[in-house]
Amino acid sequence: MPTLTLLLCGIASPVFGQRPPDDTVLGTAIAAAEAGRFDAAQHPGIATHPAYGWVEYAALRRNMDLMLPVQAQAFLGRYRGQPLAEAFRADWLASRSRVKDWAGFRAAWSPQVRSTSLRCAELNARLAAGAADAQWVSDAQALWRSSAKAFPSECDEPFAALAMRGGLTPALRWERLEKAAAEWDPEVMRSAAAGLPADEAALANDYAAFVQAIHPRALNWPKTARSRLIASYGLARLGKSVPGTAEAQLPKYAQALGFTEEDRARVLYQIALWTVASYEPESARRLAAVPASAYDERLHEWRVREALARSDWRAALDAIRRMSDKQRSDSRWTWFEARTAELTGDKAGAQALYRKAAQKSDFHGFLAADRLDQPYALCPWLPDDSAAAKAAVARDPALVRAISLFRAERKAWAQKEWEDALSRFDQAQRRLAVAVAQEGGWFDRGVFGLVNVGGKNYPEETRLYQLRFPIHHADTIRREAAKHRLDPAWVAAEIRAESVFDPRARSPANAMGLMQVLPGTGAEVARKAGLPWGGAQSLYDADTNIVLGTTYLRQLLDKYEGKPYEVIAAYNAGPAPLARWKTQRPGMDPDIWIETISYKETRDYVARVLSFSTVYDWRMSASDKREGDALRLTDRMHGRSGPRKKFSCPLAR
């Protein structure tokens, strides 16, 4: 049978649970289908692979504009209820929109489609069919209201038709314009203003111009709530980029337009936030100028950091105590409340707070346990799941396809199948699915498949340490760590933080492999260390990546005088930001220095890697035929050797 005919006709579903062919076969088959040279005979066993439909999909989407509707409907029917059908549907609908086959579009439409461009195309399809009734107007208006972002070109025609029918009222245009102003998007503001009456359009465009770059014409705007709102958004946007200028300009616009406290606060918030984020000299004064009603968790945190950066312990303690009870209960702020209480002379209060923080199994909890010289809190949970239950989950068709697609390096498709499988699983089955995925090499499911899933929180799953902290390539990690005099738990923690043990991981910045090494960095590290360099693609080899990543860690550790917390910051942010932070706050205690790092990503990353190192130390020491223990995090942070600590579960005491 010719290959294309085979693809269009489909195959009988295989018996799920049987071992599929090597997933590299699936990957090469998909690549061949995408290139238009797929021949089933050259890929033994592929026709019965559980994920074969995705090979078919890859071939069909190449020439979708020329496909017959009957073929598309057959594919949709064959894979009805699967993510594959919905992926195909989206492509098919886009194709029908391009060729203006509105009948074919409507035949394939599903109300579950959420794409804005396709929803606009669906409005066009009804418009072409003469079905622009009251429901059409209502649906078009709902779409207009749905976003403050720029709409795709597919929306031009239905919105023009809506305007012609009187459905885009001035009120709707102003509503969208105000939403766009809140997003600091003057182009969308101008687009929304295009159909307003002439006098209103002139004012609306002047509003957009002010958000883009403030101008004195605003001093003569009508003194309305809308003028005040737009002016405050424009000044707030300026406050993000040039806080001093925004602060200087605020009084005259506030007076001319009659700003309310809320309007002023909107501007003062941004001025304070972007001043303190750089620890500029005016930080404390500008933070104090923000009304208490405008403070949120983000600004409360920066108020603490600003005081910590100045070593003003009393101001930091006061800032922490202004937080909500919920925010203060986080181990981070419980720790710093204890630290600043101790630094201001309240040792008894500090001890109580340290005891509270030490109940948490994280960076600040471990620090608190060190302060109290008590075991680390850790309550591992090993659910007593039956082998039969796990085998049943492993046979789920969507899960089989998900793992196969992941192994075939089709992560986006794998994610669709994964989400479909989880939609039918209960909590216990989901945990088992994570275990099955990890056995198939998909380790990040222990991060993205537990604790926070589908908008629901399962805090007890933080105790699933075996799943949340996988270990792979352990022999290579130990070998290279020993060679470079590094703690293997630190290396494992870096891999967990960087790629969750995915050797094919690649970041938007082109960092590659397990330890997310940039090709330029890899080449330079190899040159300095006299190691062979096989080019960027060699970074996808696990052993090569660990060799170069650990060599780089050693080079950084030597450069930064054996201070791991500085090395971790440099590994994430680079040497230039680290040099700036060291210059700004020399000699500061590591925990305070880490918390005052300007970049949120790096601030959290350093704490996370140090915490992960402690957990991996426990895991890797336990695998050495002894009860798990770990180097004290305080010693680890300073790059010191020292006594090891036990772990104890507070729930069992």
Q: Are 218 and 250 in contact (CB under 8 A)?
A: no
- The pLDDT-based confidence of 651 (bands split at 50, 70, 90) is confident
Per-residue pLDDT reduced to its tens digit, 156-166: 999 999 999 99
Confidence label for 652 from pLDDT (cuts 50, 70 and 90): low
Q: How does residue 7 score in pLDDT terms, banded at 50, 70 and 90?
A: very low
> What pLDDT sits at residue 9?
36
Average pLDDT over every residue of 605-619: 98
Residues of the chain with pLDDT > 90, as a percent, come to 94
Q: Which residues contact 206 (CB under 8 A, 6 or more apart)?
A: 217, 218, 221
Tell if the pTM clears 0.75, that is, is over it.
yes
Residue 192 has pLDDT above 60, yes or no: yes
Confidence of residue 653 (pLDDT cuts 50, 70, 90): low
Mean residue pLDDT of the chain comes to 94
The active-site residue out of 306, 417, 461, 498 is 498
Report the length, in residues, of the chain.
653
Lowest-pLDDT choice from 455-469, 516-530, 638-652: 638-652
Q: Are 631 and 644 in contact (CB under 8 A)?
A: yes
Residue 8 has pLDDT above 50, yes or no: no
- pLDDT at residue 24 in the model: 83
Res 625: pLDDT? 63
**pLDDT tens digits along 318-354:** 999 999 999 999 999 999 999 999 999 999 999 999 9
* pLDDT tier, 2 (very low <50, low <70, confident <90, very high otherwise): very low
Average pLDDT of the segment spanning 218-247: 98
pLDDT greater than 60 at residue 611: yes
pLDDT value, residue 136: 98
By the 8 A CB rule, do 135 and 107 touch? Answer: no
Q: What pLDDT does 150 receive?
A: 97
Residue with tokens 């409360």: 300
Work out the pLDDT band at 18, boundaries 50, 70, 90.
Answer: very low
Catalytic residue list contains 595: no
Tell me the average pLDDT across 501-514.
97
Is 331:358 a contact under the CB 8 Å cutoff?
Answer: no
**H helices present in 16-115, as ranges:** 23-35, 52-60, 69-78, 83-98, 102-108
Amino acid 13: pLDDT: 35
Task: Specify the pLDDT at position 622.
Answer: 86
516 neighbors 494 (Cβ within 8 angstroms): no
Percent of residues in the chain assigned helix, strand, coil, to nearest 5: 65, 5, 30
Q: Over the stretch 620-646, which tens digit does the pLDDT of each residue have? A: 998 656 689 999 999 999 999 999 999
Q: What pLDDT is recorded for position 11? A: 33
Residues 6 or more apart whose CB falls under 8 angstroms from that of 557 comprise: 486, 563, 564, 567, 639
Give per-residue pLDDT as tens, 430-451.
Answer: 999 999 999 999 999 999 999 9
What mean pLDDT do residues 172-184 have? 98
- Span 271-276, average pLDDT: 98
